[in-house]
Structure 1
C-alpha cells in the first residue's frame, strides 16, 4: 500500500529513542521528511545519519536533527521553527514525550498534578496551536499522539501518567471533531507492553518494589497479554505510519490500541 506521505514534513517529538524513534523510522521509510526532536543533539544527529544511510534514493526523504526541550520556555517554538526552516511546513505532527515517575493515586500531591499537566498536556497543546493553522489552510494534516493503554484502562501505580494522558486524550478528541472538515485527522495510538527502555524501567521498578527479579516480572506481564509477548517498536511504528497516511483520511478521533490484546474491553 502506498501511504501517500512521501515528501510530507513530519515533526516527531521525543524521537531520539523509544516509541518516538520507532515512529520516525516508519515515517522515514515511507519517504516523509522527518525532524528528529529531542534534548540529545548528538543522538539526534546519529539517528539522522542512520536514516539517511537506510533511505538510499528514497524519493522525497530528508531528515534533520532538532535539539529542543519541549517542556522548557521557548522549546516548542524553537522546535517548530527549526523544522519549518529545515524541511518546510509541517504536515504531520507526532505528539510524544517521556513518561512521568510511577506513583499511587493516594500519594499524589498538588505538584504531581501540576507535573502531569506540564509534561503531558501543555507542550502538546502548544505544538498543536503552532502547526494546526497551516494544516487547516492547506486542507491536509495529521496529528497523532503516542499515548498509553492507561487512557483506556488506568494502570496501577502510574497515577500521574493516567491523569495527564487522559486529559490530553479528551483535548484531542474534542479537537478532532472541530477540524475534520478541514482535512486534518487527530488520533491517539495507545501502546501496551512494547519492548522499550521505558517499559524496562517500569518492570525494574516493579521488581524492586515487590522484591523479585526483572525476568519474573516480565514473565507475569506476558501472561496478561493474549499475544503472550511484548510488542516490537517497529510494529508500533507501522501502525503510527498508517494513521498518518493518506489512506487513513477517514479515521479521526480514535484511540487505537497496539497492545497484543492486553486491554480486554471493546
Structure 2
C-alpha cells in the first residue's frame, strides 16, 4: 500500500526513545522527512542508523524541553522558519505516580503545562501552514487511563483526558481544511516508561518485577506487551493520505486490554 508520505514533513515530539523514536523511524521509512524533538538530540540523530536500507526519509533533531516555554518557542521558531510541517505527532512523557487525594496543586499545574498546554501551543502555531496547504495530520498519544483510569496515576489520568477532549473538538474545527486530528490510546507497550512503572509497582507491593509483569500480562488478551513498532505503524497510517477520512477518532493499540466497548 502506498501511503503517500514522500515529500511530507513531520514533527515528532519526544522522539529520542520509546514510542517517539519508533514513530520517527516508521515515518522516515515511508519517505517522510522527520524532525525529531527532544532534550536528547544526539539520540535522535542516531535513529537514522535504524532505518531500512531503502528508506528515502531522514530524521533530524531539534532540542525541546516541553516543561520550558522558552524551549517550546525556540522549537516553533525554527520549524516555522523551515516552512512548518504537514504532520505533527504529539507525544509527551508521563508524570510521576501519585494518588488523587494526595497530589498537590503544584504538581497538577506543572503537569498541565508540560502535557496539555505545550501540545495546545505547538499545535496552534503549526496549524496555519496546514490550513494554507489544505492538508495536515495531527496524531496525539494518550494512555489507556483515559478510558480505564490507572491506580496511582492521577495526574496522567486527569490531564490526558483533557487532551482527549481538546483533540476531539479540534478535529471538527479543521476537518474542512483537509486536516485530521486523532488520538492513539496506548496500552502496555514495552518501553522504558512501562519498565519504570512495573519496577515502581514491584517496590510498592514488595514483590518482584517478574510477578508484576505476570499479573499484567494476565489482563491482556494478546498475552504480551506490545512492540513500539506496532503502535508506530498505526500512527504512520493515520498520518498518511490513506487515512484522510479518519478524524476525531480514538484508536486503541492495547492488545485487547481495555474491556469497555
C-alpha contact (below 8 Å) 2:99/2:151 kept by paired residues = yes
1:195 to partner: Cα distance: 0.4
C-alpha contact (below 8 Å) 2:80/2:126 kept by paired residues = no
Q: How does 1:47-58 map to 2 (within 5 A)?
A: 47=47, 49-51=48-50, 54-56=51-53, 58=55
Provide the C-alpha distance between the structure 2 equivalents of 1:135 and 1:205, rounded to a whole number of angstroms.
41
C-alpha contact (below 8 Å) 1:38/1:69 kept by paired residues = yes
Provide the C-alpha distance between the structure 2 equivalents of 1:164 and 1:253, rounded to a whole number of angstroms.
18
Q: Tell me the residue number matched to 1:79.
A: 75
C-alpha contact (below 8 Å) 1:22/1:234 kept by paired residues = yes
Provide the C-alpha distance between the structure 2 equivalents of 1:149 and 1:133, rounded to a whole number of angstroms.
31
SS at match of 1:44: helix
Q: How does 1:111-122 map to 2 (within 5 A)?
A: 111-122=106-117
**Aligned: 1:164 with 2:159:** yes
Provide the C-alpha distance between the structure 2 equivalents of 1:34 and 1:120, rounded to a whole number of angstroms.
22
Q: How many residues align?
A: 261
Q: Tell me the residue number matched to 1:182.
A: 177
**Aligned to 1:238, which of 230, 233, 241?**
233
Q: Deviations over 1:70-122 (max 9, x none)?
A: 22122222223333445x43000000111000111111211122122111101
Q: Tell me the residue number matched to 2:130.
A: 135
1:35 to partner: Cα distance: 0.6
C-alpha contact (below 8 Å) 2:28/2:55 kept by paired residues = no
SS at match of 2:59: strand
Higher deviation after alignment, 196-205 or 162-171? 162-171
Give unpaired runs (5+ residues) of structure 2. Answer: none
Provide the C-alpha distance between the structure 2 equivalents of 1:115 and 1:20, rounded to a whole number of angstroms.
22
C-alpha contact (below 8 Å) 1:140/1:182 kept by paired residues = yes
Moved over 2 A (4+): 54-59, 80-86
SS at match of 2:95: coil
Q: Deviations over 1:163-208 (max 9, x none)?
A: 1101111111111101101000000111100000000000000000
SS at match of 1:263: coil
Provide the C-alpha distance between the structure 1 equivalents of 2:76 and 2:240, rounded to a whole number of angstroms.
21
Give unpaired runs (5+ residues) of structure 1. Answer: none
Q: TM-score, normalised by structure 2?
A: 0.96
1:148 to partner: Cα distance: 0.6
